[in-house]
Amino acid sequence: MRSMLAVILLAAGLTGCADNANKADQLKTDSTKKDSSMGGPAIDVTPANNELTGQEKEEGWQLLFDGKTKNGWHVYNNKSDGSAWTVADGALHLDPKTKKDWQTVGGGDIVSAEEYDNFDLKLEWKLDSAGNSGIILFVKEDPKFEHTWHTGPEMQVLDNAAHPDSKIIKHRAGDLYDLITSSPEMVKPAGEWNQVEIISKNAKLEFFLNGTKVVSTTMWDDNWKKMIAGSKFKDMPAFGTIKKGRIGLQDHGDPVWYRNIKIRKL
């Protein structure tokens, strides 16, 4: 009798264990289903470098750099694509092996094939220590203008920690160069990627650096003209007057890398 009772109790215990295990498995399955219905475990939907997501394509974004070639870029006032500008590790890289004054042999500022007026521009950049470059907007390509910055305002690209220009107000990373000081200071150290967004819409210009708005102004009004009159560009009559122009990347004689360059017309 005792043996029979022990067998019955053992069987009941095993059944209970099995039921508990099944319940645990069911809870695990339900949990997985719940996660799946909410997107499941964290999935990185960030696109690979120099690629667009499906949503970005629907929103009208276009790549200005494919990560493999220099298609869509040429040296300012020159048909060359600039031998000193190379593609390395998915980035558009200026390799200043040989200097020519303050620029690079085989380099020079490069500009986009197309002109833009109202746009949303995004890109990433990084520099070596004490590096200097710039993103130049509304560039009018014409032999009578020797440099991109004879017409186009610039978002400064700079190593604030080591470049001497960082001591000059309005010459620091994120500044609307020589016109407006960016605030707050959001630049990352040399060697790290910085994220930029520049929005131009109906004369309003905004700069974002690493996710934070650092400059906001209105172009072409009386205050704009006053700022130019008080800047180093005061003797360049076409500077800051162009309302549709090319995007430029500056050769300032220092190594610089650009990637994830994309634009959307507004």
pLDDT digits (tens, 9 = 90+) for 47-77: 799 999 999 999 999 999 999 999 999 999 9
| Same-domain check for residues 193 and 138 | yes
Q: What is the mean pLDDT of the chain?
A: 88
Same-domain pairing of 137 and 234: yes
Residue 48 is assigned to a structural domain of this protein: no
User: Are residue 80 and residue 142 in the same domain, yes or no?
Assistant: yes
Q: What domain range is 249 assigned to?
A: 56-265
Look at the pTM and tell me if it is higher than 0.85.
no
Question: Tell me: the pLDDT tens digits for 231-263?
Answer: 999 999 999 999 999 999 999 999 999 999 999
Structure confidence at residue 20 (pLDDT):
44
Query: Any idea which residue has 């990185």 for tokens?
Result: 44
Q: What is the mean pLDDT of residues 145-173?
A: 98
Model confidence over 5-54: pLDDT tens digits? Answer: 343 333 444 344 444 444 444 433 333 333 333 344 444 467 799 999 99
Regarding whether 254 and 143 lie in a shared domain, the answer is yes
Domain co-membership, 106 together with 220 = yes
* 131 shares its domain with 196: yes
**Does residue 24 sit in the same domain as residue 139?**
no
Q: Give yes or no: residues 28 and 97 share one domain.
A: no
**What percent of the chain has a predicted confidence (pLDDT) above 70?**
83
Does 64 share its domain with 2?
no
